[in-house]
Structure 1
Amino acid sequence: MIALAYRASISNQREYRRCIGVNRLLGLLVADTEYPELYGFDWNCPHCGVAVHLKVRKQIKNPDSVEDWYSFCICECPRRGCLGVVFVKFDNNNNRIRAAYPYPGTSEQHFPDSIPSRIRTDMAEAVRAFAADCHKSVVVMCRRALQNIALDKKIPRAEIKEQIKQMQMAGLITKPLSDAAQEIRHFGGFGAHPQEDILDETTETDALKVFRQLDQIVRNIYVMPAETKELAKRRQGIQQKPGSKS
């Protein structure tokens, strides 16, 4: 689903594949086995919106000995019509960008139209928070998106725990997806409310997994039914042509 977010803005196939790689770097692609991992300074330029390989103009080693595998770089978009400057935190051990400023923009228009606007807005904000290393904000926005799904599907207002149960009873989600939704609820609560134990720490891995769980739920409730309807419509159109076989 996330891969489809850029289809309207990326016309060149090579740039499209690069953009998929950028999304993988951010950890936002569910079908990650379809495309090879891209490393180095591949990034989605926040100035022109094109997936590029950033030019490094200056690289400075991190003076902090605890995290000496990081370096800080001043980079430039190589496109002649852009040449925008991007500040990068680079992971030398894994040969990948860990953070960058300005952050690549993500809005609700980057998600399939089959998803309701309010849910797309929440998911886009979660993506921007992930890019900014605001992991508590990611899980909170995922929980909010989950509540908006319940509202969109006319689930009676109640505690989110009960709304998830109602969605399963209504056949909107399976038992595994219901369990996933409950974990989104838990971690969203941890992000929104201070805890007295280790649960107060929301890691990048936590945020990644929570977002991917939400992505699966949204895919099953909205994206797959819409795509199935499109396929059925196309099949019926083909079958109605003279000489076609059913």
Structure 2
Amino acid sequence: MVLDQCPHCGVRHVQTERCATLALSAHDNATLWHIVRCQNRACQRLVLVQVSNANEVQQVYPFVAYQLDSNAEVPLEIRDDFREAGVCYGAGCYKASLVMSRRALQRCLSDQGCTQNKLVEAIDHALQNNILRRAFHPLAEEIRQYGNLGAHPDDDQLQNASRESAYHVLEFLRLLIHEFYEVPAAAAHLRTKRQVPKLP
């Protein structure tokens, strides 16, 4: 079984070895529990995975901690929103995770000077003013659309607020935060190193 991320070592898309499988109820195999071992040689710790009888992952224990790079200069509010989106995802609260991801995106755009009240307008402004690269526009749009699914109870697509969609939206958000904050910081660091005068 491949896990999105090991909750202990943080390695992503990690292989695991199944150690045991138990049914939640002796009379019902609708929910199974797998005890698996992370195959990262530096970790090798046990993880409890709840799956459906179709072998779809429903929960992972302990919860995975979704954190941004601690060295990146990302505003605290955006860090907190991203972390909370991850906590909601780990707890199986996928609609809440989608809403928090949307909130974090809106904070990112506002921090870049896109202060429109409606997120769709902020995204358009960012695109038109080269704040958001065209290649990243679909990611921002999916975060917005799925965040709307989580926020509006009358939406007829609420079934799409799933574990899979919440995971992808979190990853899209991570990429956008990387684009807005981590890439410019890395470029500035390299520029500073290049401009340091060499000693004779």
- For normalisation by structure 2, the TM-score amounts to 0.75
Higher strand share: 2
Quote the offset at 1:229 in angstroms. Answer: 0.8
RMSD of aligned residue pairs (Cα, Å)? 3.4
Q: Does 1:65 align with 2:29?
A: yes
User: Which stretches in structure 1 are left out of the alignment for 5+ residues?
Assistant: 1-17, 26-36, 42-55, 76-85
* Equivalence for 1:19: 9
Picking from 169, 173, 186, the partner of 1:210 is: 169
Quote the offset at 1:160 in angstroms. Answer: 0.8
Quote the offset at 1:195 in angstroms. Answer: 3.5
Q: Does 1:123 align with 2:82?
A: yes
Give the letter for the 1:88 counterpart: L
* Equivalence for 2:41: none
Contact 2:58 2:163 in 1 (8 A): no
Distance 1:157 1:198 in 2: 26
Contact 1:88 1:100 in 2 (8 A): yes
The 3-state SS of whatever aligns with 2:15 is coil
Distance 1:112 1:97 in 2: 32
Distance 2:132 2:140 in 1: 9
User: Which stretches in structure 2 are left out of the alignment for 5+ residues?
Assistant: 1-7, 38-45
Give the letter for the 1:160 counterpart: L
Give the letter for the 2:153 counterpart: P
Quote the offset at 1:190 in angstroms. Answer: 0.4
Q: Does 1:100 align with 2:100?
A: no
- 1:155-234 equivalent positions in 2, closer than 5 A: 155-234=114-193
Q: Does 1:235 align with 2:197?
A: no
Distance 2:155 2:142 in 1: 19
Distance 2:142 2:170 in 1: 11
Distance 1:124 1:219 in 2: 15
* Equivalence for 1:38: 15
* Equivalence for 2:3: none
Aligned residues: 183
Distance 1:164 1:112 in 2: 27
Distance 2:198 2:118 in 1: 51
Percent identity between matched residues is 25
